Chains A and B, each alone.
Chain A
Amino acid sequence: MTSEDIRSTLLTCLSDVAPEVDTEALEDDTDLRDELDLDSMDILRWVQGIHKALGVEIPEEDYGKVVTLGDAIDYVSARV
């Protein structure tokens, strides 16, 4: 699975949680909580979506490692 595939899957999961976000325009270093106004429940739903799509489980203590889209792609790529 390429980094681009992972990116695309993460964005699809993000769209499910926050359909109003323009995922095309999202930069890799955007802070998802601050810039996209996601709260802890949105993050949890996103993490759940990633788990379902890719089988990668992000434990709570690692939430700090998936603050931006770029972080999340790196984190998932290392475990998929």
Chain B
Amino acid sequence: MVPEFVMPSLGADMTAGTLAKWRVAVGDTVSHGDIIAEVETDKGIIEVEVFESGVVQELLVREGEKVPVGTPMAQIGEPGAGAEAGAAPVAESVAEAGAVAESAAEAVVVAEARAERVTPRRPMHRGGLLREGPMASPAVRRRAHELDVSLEGLHGSGEHGRITIEDVQHAAEVGPSPSVSRDRVRISPYARRIAADRGVEIERIRGTGPGGAIRADDVLRAEASRPAEPVSAADRMQRAIAAAMTRANDEIPHYYVEQTIDMGAALAWLRDFNASASIEERLVSGVLVLRAVARALRKHRSLNATWQGVEAVPSKEINVGLAVSLRGGGLVAPALRNTDEGSLTELMARMTDLVARARSGTLRSSEMTAATITLTALGERGVESVTPIIFPPQVAIVGCGATVERPWVVEGRVVVRPVMRVTLGADHRVSNGHQGARFLSTLESLLQEPDKL
């Protein structure tokens, strides 16, 4: 079977994406991690990576076409395999039928064998089978539910990208997928398929079938009562943010802890560093905070996790998502992988690149989904504190206000110090205020020794 590259889920609320541009052509060789397409989502244009290695055999989706998540977009074959590889099984089975007819020893009943051979063993129209979101059998869905593995965005190794039990088990072993898992929805297979086709969120549909099962009619009703598609990309993005934030506010019991941190040592160190560094290597204070948050998470793993339907699963990597406001309106929070590792100079370069690409709309798919916590810094405009809302499925978010000079007591004397108020918003289902307070305390200590960051 030729592996297929499917429209990925680039966020919990994504149901469909528009193929903006192919970055490969038929015959190109691709390997794991290559960017092969640009996909326009509500969050802007995202560069999408491929997880197969091989040769592009066929491009199944045209540029400009909008398709649901999970739709095969390209076939990636073994190097040297022709584009007709996909059709081979059919040809083989016909040839096989002929062989049966000719081989006396094997002859059963020729005419019947032929009659049965030509009857399709799979659903007739490709679209019918393939347009389903994550394609998985009821047993696989059940296993995924048992193991708390999210099928959204999970790569299927089965025929036509079907998710197999092994895929689920593998996913359970390697850790949670970054996208959110939901409680199992009782819905007919057909209704699930048309909901994916039409971009109707099944979580919001009221089922009228037996046991509250969602039927096709329920999907159509939900679609009819849905507000009209907003026109502009900015409007769509705002709606995606609205959906994510509404869900976060509805579902996540937030608690907040706040601490004012003395930034004197950090800023002094930064001033010295920048004075001696070349202009290309200059750092901004934000990168120190970013690194300190990541390092503090090493000690407080319960905040670096994703909520998987019934419980949180700690993330192996520390990937801090950076809230980047777009000047034209809108907000994205792409991830910096392994934010706790590498030199500060390197992190600065990665952050600069990430922010630039966020603003130019050329983020990669993995950056859109990999974040394990979010950092939002709004101090640039002078606000002193931020009370942020968690970005699901993450379980914590850190908000930083401006660094301002304030009277500060040091060893019994009032002095003027630059201070910054840091707020941790966290999911009370996963951690509690004590753990949150300890995290902030660790963060504070780390920022007192900036040379170790």
Among residues of A, the one whose C-beta sits closest to the C-beta of B285 is A40
The B-contacting residues of A in range 5-21, CB under 8 angstroms, are: 18-21
Q: Which of A19, A36, A45, A47 touches B352 (beta carbons < 8 Å)?
A: A45
Please determine whether B279 and A41 come into contact, CB atoms closer than 8 angstroms: no
B236 within 8 A of A: no
Instruction: Count A interface residues, CB 8 Å.
Output: 19
Please determine whether B284 and A18 come into contact, CB atoms closer than 8 angstroms: no
Please determine whether B280 and A48 come into contact, CB atoms closer than 8 angstroms: yes
Please determine whether B271 and A60 come into contact, CB atoms closer than 8 angstroms: yes
Compute how far the CA of A47 lies from the CA of B282 in the bound complex, rounded to whole angstroms: 10
A20 neighbours in B (Cβ, 8 Å): 327-328, 359
With A40-B285, A60-B271, A60-B274 as known contacts, state yes or no: A51 contacts B352, CB within 8 Å: no
Most chain B beta-carbon contacts within 10 A, residue among A18, A33, A39, A44: A39
Compute how far the CA of A33 lies from the CA of B382 in the bound complex, rounded to whole angstroms: 12
Please determine whether A37 and B327 come into contact, CB atoms closer than 8 angstroms: yes
Interface contacts beyond A37-B327, A44-B352, A60-B275: sample of 9 additional A-B pairs, CB < 8 Å, sorted by A: A18-B327, A36-B327, A40-B286, A41-B352, A44-B282, A44-B284, A47-B279, A51-B279, A59-B274
Instruction: Count B interface residues, CB 8 Å.
Output: 18
CB distance from A63 to the nearest CB of B (A): 11
26 intermolecular pairs with C-beta atoms under 8 Å apart: A18-B327, A18-B359, A19-B359, A21-B327, A33-B380, A36-B327, A37-B327, A39-B380, A40-B284, A40-B285, A41-B284, A41-B286, A41-B355, A44-B282, A44-B284, A44-B352, A47-B279, A47-B282, A48-B282, A51-B279, A51-B280, A58-B279, A59-B274, A59-B275, A60-B274, A60-B275
Compute how far the CA of A39 lies from the CA of B378 in the bound complex, rounded to whole angstroms: 10
Among residues of B, the one whose C-beta sits closest to the C-beta of A41 is B284
A59 neighbours in B (Cβ, 8 Å): 274-275
Compute how far the CA of A19 lies from the CA of B65 in the bound complex, rounded to whole angstroms: 27
B441 within 8 A of A: no
B284 neighbours in A (Cβ, 8 Å): 40-41, 44
Please determine whether B279 and A57 come into contact, CB atoms closer than 8 angstroms: yes
Compute how far the CA of A44 lies from the CA of B280 in the bound complex, rounded to whole angstroms: 9
Compute how far the CA of A51 lies from the CA of B277 in the bound complex, rounded to whole angstroms: 14
Q: Which of B271, B280, B286, B360 touches A19 (beta carbons < 8 Å)?
A: B360
Among residues of A, the one whose C-beta sits closest to the C-beta of B380 is A39
Interfacial residues, chain A to chain B (CB-CB below 8 A): 18-21, 33, 36-37, 39-41, 44-45, 47-48, 51, 57-60
Please determine whether A48 and B279 come into contact, CB atoms closer than 8 angstroms: yes
Task: Annotate B336-375 by CB proximity to A: 1 below 8 A, 0 otherwise.
Answer: 0000000000000001100110011000000000000000
A18 neighbours in B (Cβ, 8 Å): 327, 359
CB distance from B288 to the nearest CB of A (A): 12
The A-contacting residues of B in range 114-143, CB under 8 angstroms, are: none
Would you list the 6 A-B pairs with minimal beta carbon distance, nearest first? A39-B380, A51-B279, A40-B284, A60-B274, A37-B327, A41-B284
Compute how far the CA of A59 lies from the CA of B380 in the bound complex, rounded to whole angstroms: 19
Compute how far the CA of A40 lies from the CA of B284 in the bound complex, rounded to whole angstroms: 7
Compute how far the CA of A58 lies from the CA of B274 in the bound complex, rounded to whole angstroms: 11
Compute how far the CA of A36 lies from the CA of B284 in the bound complex, rounded to whole angstroms: 19
A48 neighbours in B (Cβ, 8 Å): 279-280, 282
